[in-house]
Amino acid sequence: MGLAALASRAEAGAAINGGGEAIVGLYANIGSLDPHFQVSHIAASVFFGLYEGLVTVDEDGRVIPSLAERWSSSPDGLAYRFDLRRGVRFHDGGEMTARDVVASLERYRRISPERGLPDLIERVDASSPQTVAIRLRKASATFLPRLASPANPVAIIPAHEAPKPLNQTANVGTGPFRLAEWTPDSQVRLRRFAGYSANTAFTGPQGLGGRRTAWLDTVTFRFMPEPSARVAALEAGDIHLAEQVPARAAARLARNPRLRIERLTDFNMPALFINHARAPTSGLALRRAVQAAVDVREAMAGATDGAYTLDPSWLWPNSPYYSKAGGELYGLHDLNIARRWLAEARYRGEAIDFLIPNISLHMKLGVILLEQLRTAGLNVRPVSVDFATMVATIASDRGWHLALNGFRAAPFLGPYAYETIFSGPNNWARAKALEDGPMRMLWDRFNAAPDDKGRAAAWAAIQALTYRNVTMVKLGAENLLIGMDRRLQGYRPYAGGERMWDVRWSPAGRVPS
């Protein structure tokens, strides 16, 4: 029997109590569903229904098994052995083996924009059909967290898919849902994969792993950047869950007996990205002028209708590495200081291109920051772009000086998630080797530290340097307000994206697919 026929037979033969369709209104578009190029937290909502890795993270960001049943390491920390779960099938019907894992890891090393993990790995071998051996170039306490990271996940795909170039795979994974439709700039529809092999070592879902169950027949993610459109669609019943509901609209929706509001306090960390590779923002004095000109309280209050918190840390407060190092430079808002730095920079009114994605929060922040920066004397030109275009543009040295973006996974995962953001050849500030040297030394210190105390000290120094060097400007923390149909049961908000497994309609409320 062929693989496709086997998959169809598995779909037809399984009985799951549940069914129906859920439609989710996402606040931005996605640019890629490639299994090894997921860098957008928007794409994560779709990605983790499709794909799985060897390991993943639980509710608190700790590493837990996923496709690996267990793992062990050598005393010197250079060799890792992963024993795979048996009987796991891909969406095309094929059974996962060590050969698929090796091919997937090799493709990840070739394609992923994340370089921290690929640069750690010396080689990957299939010791047996169910065993994978990974040899590291050097011991690193961050290896397992990197391998589990949802920020740049290492998805396991069939070996025959691995040779394909970026964005050319068939999007075949092992997750509880399989891809049914992707209409660019419109929507993605996932369909329940009845051949899914749930991880029976767990009693229920945990974070992005555990024992996951797809109760819904289909989940459709619609790209709806305009918040009023998401709210109106939710009220009309055209969608069943709306991300990033404005605070004023949420108060009204909460009075609707058909709907409810979920709140995630530590959701998104918006930041003003700065291009260190293009004049005039390549100059430290100019960047310090930008830092001093920004009023983070005014920006966050105006953009979120009060659903925000201010904090200098790049991590959420519950992190063991939480630090306020560099906080004396956070939220300065001193125009005299800003103008002194502009004078030192010998700024003569050169145009500064400011990318503002067409996401409600970013558009509101953009309007406020534009006025603040212009008041300080900067000739800032706003450039409106869609989110996917912004992500692609800031991966280059050209075409931008400032950009609005943010972090959802990194503040939750911990310091290691920021390594390739703040340092290395593909750092998000576009800083070159000479400037990156001091930052690289601190990351080497972090990775070599023998215990949490040493890593915490190194991380505090890294964070302080981001403020002194104005790597980027942290704005604050946005709270997430989610509006949803009250009949949807089992949903839990999560900083890493929407988790639509273990969500089902209440017995009297099934919506047909």
Query: pTM of the full predicted structure?
Result: 0.78
Kindly tell me the burial class for residue 440, based on how many C-beta atoms sit within 10 Å of its own C-beta (0-12, 13-18, 19 or more).
Answer: middle
Shortest CA distance to 89 belongs to which of 202, 162, 173? 173
> Two tokens at 289?
């002028």
Query: No. of H helices and E strands in the chain?
Result: 16, 22
Least confident residue range of 112-116, 172-176, 293-297, 379-383: 112-116
Rounded Cα distance between 33 and 157, Å, is 13
End-to-end CA distance of the chain: 30
Integer angstrom CA distances of residue 238 from 49, 235, 402: 22, 8, 36
Report which of residues 512 and 312 the model is more confident about. Answer: 312
CA 8 from centroid of its chain's CA atoms: 32
CA distance 174 to 160: 15
- Nearest-Å Rg of the Cα atoms of the chain is 23
Closest CA to 361 of 226, 501, 205: 226
**pLDDT score for 113:** 79
With H, G, I as helix, E, B as strand and everything else as coil, classify residue 480. Answer: strand
What's the rounded mean pLDDT across residues 464-476? 98
Residue-by-residue DSSP string for 377-408: T--EEEEEE-HHHHHHHTTSSSS-SEEEEEES
Query: For position 511, what pLDDT does the model report?
Result: 60
Q: Under a CB-based contact definition with an 8 Å cutoff, are residues 212 and 501 in contact?
A: yes
> Per-residue pLDDT tens for 53-112?
999 998 878 899 999 999 999 999 999 999 999 999 999 999 999 999 999 999 999 998
Q: Which of residues 22 and 305 earns the better pLDDT score?
A: 22
The residue count for the chain: 513
Pair type for strands 308-309 and 121-128: unpaired
> Does residue 156 or residue 118 have the better pLDDT?
156
For the cut 50, the answer to whether the pLDDT of residue 256 exceeds it is yes
Per-residue pLDDT, averaged over 468-496, amounts to 93
For residues 469 and 42, the model is more confident at: 469
Residues 6 or more apart in contact with residue 437 via CB below 8 angstroms: none
Complete domains list, the chain, with CATH: 15-224+486-505 (3.40.190.10), 266-478 (3.10.105.10)
pLDDT at 487: 95
Is pLDDT at 397 greater than 90 in this prediction? yes
User: Lowest-pLDDT range, 73-82, 114-123, 450-459?
Assistant: 114-123
User: What gap in Å lies between CA 19 and CA 198, rounded to an integer?
Assistant: 18
Residue pointed to by tokens 């939220």: 331
> What pLDDT sits at residue 510?
58
Tell me the pLDDT tens digit for each residue of 128-153. Answer: 999 999 999 988 888 998 899 887 88
Of the two residues 496 and 33, the one the predictor is more confident about is 33
